[in-house]
Structure 1
Amino acid sequence: MPNTASALELDAYLRLSRASLGEWLAAIRKISGCRDMACRLHNGGGPVGALSALESEQGFIVCIYASQGMDLTGCRTSDPVVLVPLGGEPQIARQGGRWQPLGKLIVARPEDRFHLRLPELGRVMIMRPRTDILNNLVNSNAGLPIAECHELIDCYLRRSLFFRDHNHARQMTSELFCRLGRIAREESKSGCDCSGLDRRLLRAVDKIRHEPDWDFNLTELASYAGVSERNLYYLMKRDAGITPYRLYQRNRLTRVRYRLVDCQCMVPHISRYAADEGFSHLGRFAALYREHFGELPSETAQWRRNLLEAESGHSEEPLAAP
């Protein structure tokens, strides 16, 4: 099965891909906080899906991608969570009720004990903001302004392609939660402006993200985008806040992360994966990796190994927090 990360939001923070059912359950229980969650696959077996997760001071976000149809049951957390459909027409059932379309953002409370049904290629985001922000979302007097919340989240996801490093990712995630809280208090509008990214810039971004064998060449990249080198650099800094090379470097690091997350061997070949993406100095690579993802490459690989050990029953050690 091809790596599903390219179809998953926040793919730079991939935690699990090409997973067995046992690994999937261990991971999603830990990441989401739904300790008694269960999963029934519609086809009975095979790889389950992918997960990405990003935590900030104001809350955390989990994105779920279903490689095949599934029912997630027993989804109960100690605090309310925000559920956001991202694609594939997912469904929700609350308090033992009937399945209904999850067609828009909703707040699910602990007493809901909700179930999620994801079709093949379905995608859902689970958000758990800090308590005061969550209270604003739950207790909004006029009801949540759903359209504005969706606009804000969509803008955040588009901008996530241009996170400069881990600190910037955490900062932007905290800002998302704070802005959702202000919208719920009716103190501001969403004020997003992500739809106007220059198409020439998007062409350059597409080449960087989807041509893994391409070696960085600013002249070639500018020609592909249809602008001069100077203008491409200007567009990237103005609209994305990142230089072309920095974006290229981050995507190379992300591709190493895909391989570490997918690796099921007990000793991952970190140096080989890094070299395949052009990182010849392992110490410098490890420092860059930690700068971009908030952990060392060995920690990314260890998290997957913990899942394998938990599934096989060879270890009682709890999974490390993402």
Structure 2
Amino acid sequence: MAPSGEAWQSLEVPTWVCPKKVFDLKLAESSQLFIMKPAHQYSAVMPSTGTHQLLAIAPLLKRYLENIKFYVDHAHAKALTRELFSQLAKCQAGGQLADVPGAEPTDWRLLRTIEKIEQNPSWEFNLQELASYSGASERNLYYLMKHNTGMTPYRFYQRQRLIRVRRRLVDCQIGEPHISRHAADEGFSHLGRFSALYREHFGELPSKTVRGRQRFCSSDVEACEEVEQG
């Protein structure tokens, strides 16, 4: 990252960029970028000019990213995010942050379970097969998932299917995506039930996701046209 007129700096360290600050950004092909936009009440205590590397909040962000991978529903995700912004505001206001405990080593059986569910989109849920693959009994696998992720194995499986539908709706290149078709492709045969699950998990109906994408695409086209005209 290179703010206008400044030297390049690594984004491995959390960096605060003030509104309207112009900068160049280079990312390797396998990079992942995490961008946060605090609400007004939190941004009021953030630096008002330039860019600032924030070493003190690195553990907070790391813990948040670990926890947000397993949010149970939209309300849970909002609670995790509110807590993060609250801690960030406290840090920037000069308050003392509580020590962030280091992450415990993840049970290899849990890692195999997550791998099985995430990397096999066409796999149909079977607890016995999943337990055999993970190396745990069905009962132990149930409690292992519940303790570490807050979700049962089936709930996590269902969550991954919802995420894949959302990605299709967001990435779809046609003007009006077929929500029912994408849902059916991921095993949701009842559209009403799917819509309820989707709203519970993402805080909006799938139709709202589609409209949001359409507004974004329209604004992007308008911005390009303004540049061309200028």
SS state at 1:265 partner: coil
1:170 is matched with which residue: 78, 96, 99?
78
1:255 positional shift: 0.6
1:158 aligns with 2:66: yes
1:129 aligns with 2:32: no
2:87 is matched with which residue: 154, 172, 179?
179
1:179 positional shift: 2.5
The answer to whether the Cα contact below 8 Å between 2:73 and 2:201 also exists between their aligned partners in 1 is: yes
In structure 2, relative to structure 1, the CA distance for the partners of 1:255 and 1:242 (3 Å cut) is: same
SS state at 1:101 partner: coil
1:294 aligns with 2:203: yes
Q: Which amino acid aligns with 1:242?
A: M
Q: Which amino acid aligns with 2:2?
A: I
Cα deviations by residue, 1:62-91 (Å, 9 ceiling, x for unpaired): xxxxxxxxxxxxxxxxxxxxxxxxxxxxx2
Count of matched residue pairs: 217
Query: 1 or 2, which has the higher helix percentage?
Result: 2
Show the counterpart of 1:206.
115
Show the counterpart of 2:132.
223
Alignment of 1:282-321 (within 5 A): 282-313=191-222
Cα deviations by residue, 1:146-176 (Å, 9 ceiling, x for unpaired): 1x52122112112222111111111111111
Show the counterpart of 1:79.
none
Alignment of 1:66-145 (within 5 A): 91-94=1-4, 96-110=5-19, 113-121=21-29, 122-136=31-45, 138=47
1:311 positional shift: 4.3
Q: Over aligned residues, Cα RMSD in angstroms?
A: 2.4
2:173 is matched with which residue: 240, 244, 264?
264
Show the counterpart of 1:237.
146
Q: Which amino acid aligns with 1:278?
A: G
In structure 2, relative to structure 1, the CA distance for the partners of 1:309 and 1:103 (3 Å cut) is: closer
1:92 positional shift: 2.3
Show the counterpart of 2:225.
none
- Percent identity between the aligned chains? 46
Cα deviations by residue, 1:163-216 (Å, 9 ceiling, x for unpaired): 111111111111112233344434233423434322211211111111101111
SS state at 1:107 partner: strand
Query: 1 or 2, which has the higher strand percentage?
Result: 1
Query: Highest Rg: 1 or 2?
Result: 2
- Identify unmatched segments of 5+ residues in structure 2: 223-230
When the two structures are superposed, what TM-score results if normalisation uses the length of structure 1? 0.61
Structure-1 separation of matches of 2:170 and 2:75 = 21
Structure-2 separation of matches of 1:169 and 1:272 = 27
The answer to whether the Cα contact below 8 Å between 2:72 and 2:151 also exists between their aligned partners in 1 is: yes
Q: Which amino acid aligns with 1:197?
A: T
In structure 2, relative to structure 1, the CA distance for the partners of 1:265 and 1:179 (3 Å cut) is: same
Show the counterpart of 2:57.
149
Q: Which amino acid aligns with 1:124?
A: L
Q: Which has the higher contact order (CA 8 A, sep 6+)?
A: 1
SS state at 2:25 partner: strand
Q: Which amino acid aligns with 1:268?
A: P
1:240 positional shift: 1.3
The answer to whether the Cα contact below 8 Å between 1:145 and 1:183 also exists between their aligned partners in 2 is: no
Show the counterpart of 1:24.
none
Show the counterpart of 1:52.
none
Structure-1 separation of matches of 2:182 and 2:37 = 34
In structure 2, relative to structure 1, the CA distance for the partners of 1:118 and 1:157 (3 Å cut) is: same
1:241 positional shift: 1.2
1:194 is matched with which residue: 71, 91, 103?
103
- Identify unmatched segments of 5+ residues in structure 1: 1-90, 314-322
SS state at 2:97 partner: coil
